[in-house]
Amino acid sequence: MTANSTPNWGNSYRLIASEKWKAKSAAMGRDVTEALVEYARPKPGMKVLDVASGTGEPAISLSSRVRPAGRVTALDLSSELLQIAAERAQQRKLTNFSIRQADAHELPFPHESFDLVTSRFGVMFFKNCQRALREVHRVLKPGARTCFLVWGPFEQPYWSSTMGIVAKHVGGPVLVPGGADPFKFGSPGSLSAELRKAGFANIEEKTTTLPWTWPGTAEEVWEQAQAVATPFLPLLQRVPAEQRSAIDREVISAIQQYANGDSIQFGAVVVLASGAR
């Protein structure tokens, strides 16, 4: 789930975090991935493009669904993250999976190349959303769908118990104004409006709450969140050294409210949206 507009998303800092937490991060995102895959309704034989694929989901899950004749291409700006995706696909012996390093604003494919285009937590970060969506429209076959999953509002358990607490202490904006915004399409209808403007038809959208479960401790959740949530780095950098320990304790205490046995069980409020060419 990387941004196709912000170079920091491919930097070594995030790569190290992605490698360290890849198994538990994948477990936390599994229900969200499955929801997008079911929403996309992949069929055997389809040719699928997954945009801003990062370390490979939902591209890998889709590969299993379109076999044997179908193919999936995972596209991202970061070659390092795509290499993790390729390794994961190899471990699953997926021979119909390939990676492509490219920008979503300039898709390197001919017109009408794909039966389905997907993106999980990606479209919010497109620098020029209309340009990227029109590129998606261009590479879809007539009648084919694109399906997106994005974050709902900031005010939900995972974010309120982490970055929300930091923001309460340090003040100022949670995100840099005009910068990368994970919640850009959290308002109902906002992503649908962009799809309509880009020329898509038969547009659908729904907001839903899905399991978002970390198989480990509250301390791990907080460490991982700080490592991979690049748009929040300016917020985290505003934390005075003398306040860090107190904020860490408050965040961990807030996260522990969602503890159940050996896991932390948040609910993720997300938006699913689709349109047809």
The domain spans of the chain are: 7-276
Angle of CA points 84, 88, 89, to nearest 5°: 120
User: Tens place of pLDDT for every residue, the chain, 277 residues?
Assistant: 443 333 343 445 555 666 677 788 889 999 999 999 999 999 999 999 999 999 899 999 999 999 999 999 999 999 988 998 999 999 999 999 999 999 999 999 999 999 999 999 999 999 999 999 999 999 999 999 999 999 999 999 999 999 999 999 999 999 999 888 999 999 999 999 999 999 999 999 999 999 999 999 999 999 999 888 889 999 999 999 999 999 999 999 999 999 999 999 999 999 999 999 9
Q: Are 49 and 114 in contact (CB under 8 A)?
A: yes
In eight-state DSSP terms, residue 121 is S
The CA distance from 25 to 123, in Å, is: 20
How many Cβ atoms are within 10 Å of 259's Cβ, its own excluded? Answer: 14
Predicted confidence at residue 30, as pLDDT, reads 95
Q: Which of 106, 101, 100 is nearest to 132 (CA)?
A: 106
Alpha helices in the chain (DSSP H): 12-40, 59-66, 79-91, 129-139, 157-160, 163-170, 190-197, 218-228, 233-237, 241-256
Q: Are 151 and 29 in contact (CB under 8 A)?
A: no
- Please list the residues that pair with 75 across neighbouring strands: 51, 100
Residues with Cβ within 8 Å of residue 237, at least 6 apart in sequence: none
Q: Which of 164, 166, 176 is nearest to 244 (CA)?
A: 166
Residues with Cβ within 8 Å of residue 247, at least 6 apart in sequence: 165, 166, 169, 239
Helices and strands counted in the chain (H then E): 10, 8
**Rg, the chain, Cα only:** 18
Q: DSSP letter string over 163-181?
A: HHHHHHHH-S-SS-TTS--
Question: pLDDT digit string (tens) for 154-187?
Answer: 999 999 999 999 999 999 999 999 888 999 999 9
pTM: 0.90
Q: Name the superfamily (CATH) of residues 7-276.
A: Vaccinia Virus protein VP39 (3.40.50.150)
Q: Which of 61, 60, 63, 197 is nearest to 137 (CA)?
A: 197
